[in-house]
Amino acid sequence: MSGGAAIAAGDSATASGVLLALAVVLASAFVCGRIAARVRQPVVMGEIVGGVALGPSLLGLLPGHLDASLFPAEVQSYLRVLSQLGLVLFMFTVGLRFDVGHLRGAGRRVTAVSLSSVALPFALGVGLAVLLYPWFDKAQLSTDGRLGPALFLGAAMSITAFPVLARIIAERRMQHDPLGSLSLACAAFQDFLAWCALAVVVAVVEAKGLWSLGRLALDTAVVVLVLVGVVRPLLSRLLAPGRRRPLPRPWIHAVLVTGTLVTAWVTAEIGLDAVFGAFMFGAAVPRDRIEAIAPDVPEQIERAGLLLLPAFFAVTGLAVDLTGLGLRGLAVVAAVLVAACAGKFVGAVAAARATGSSRREARVLGILLNARGLTELVILNVGHRLGVIDTRMFTAMVVMALVTTLMTGPLLERHAAGSAGSATLPDPAPEAAQASRAPS
CATH number at 147 reads: 1.20.1530.20
pLDDT confidence of residue 430? 43
Mean pLDDT of the chain: 83
- Residue 440 placed within a domain: no
Q: Which amino acid is at 89?
A: L
pLDDT confidence of residue 420? 42
- Residue 86 placed within a domain: yes
- Residue 438 placed within a domain: no
Transcribe 261-272 into DSSP letters.
Answer: HHHHHHHHHHTS
Mean pLDDT of all residues in 134-150:
85
pLDDT in tens, 313-339: 999 888 888 887 888 889 999 999 999
- Residue 24 placed within a domain: yes
- Residue 4 placed within a domain: no
- Residue 5 placed within a domain: no
pLDDT confidence of residue 438? 52
Q: Which amino acid is at 137?
A: D
User: Looking at the predicted structure, is the pLDDT value of residue 433 above 50?
Assistant: no
pLDDT confidence of residue 190? 80
User: Looking at the predicted structure, is the pLDDT value of residue 407 above 80?
Assistant: yes
The residue range of the domain holding 258 is 11-433
- Our count of domains for the chain comes to 1
**What whole-number distance in Å separates Cα of residue 140 and Cα of residue 387?**
6
Range with the lowest mean pLDDT among 138-147, 153-162, 234-243, 413-422? Answer: 413-422
Transcribe 131-164 into DSSP letters.
Answer: HHGGGS-GGG-SSSSSHHHHHHHHHHHT---HHH
Q: Give me the long-range contacts of 423-428 (CB less than 8 A, separation at least 24).
A: 425/172, 426/172, 426/173, 428/40, 428/171, 428/172, 428/173
H or E, element range at 53: helix 43-53
Mean pLDDT of all residues in 213-232:
89
User: Looking at the predicted structure, is the pLDDT value of residue 243 above 70?
Assistant: yes
- Residue 130 placed within a domain: yes
| pLDDT band with cut points at 50, 70 and 90 for residue 101 | low
pLDDT confidence of residue 344? 93
pLDDT confidence of residue 358? 84
pLDDT confidence of residue 106? 53
- Residue 219 placed within a domain: yes
| pLDDT band with cut points at 50, 70 and 90 for residue 432 | very low
SS3 assignment, position 422: strand
pLDDT confidence of residue 88? 92
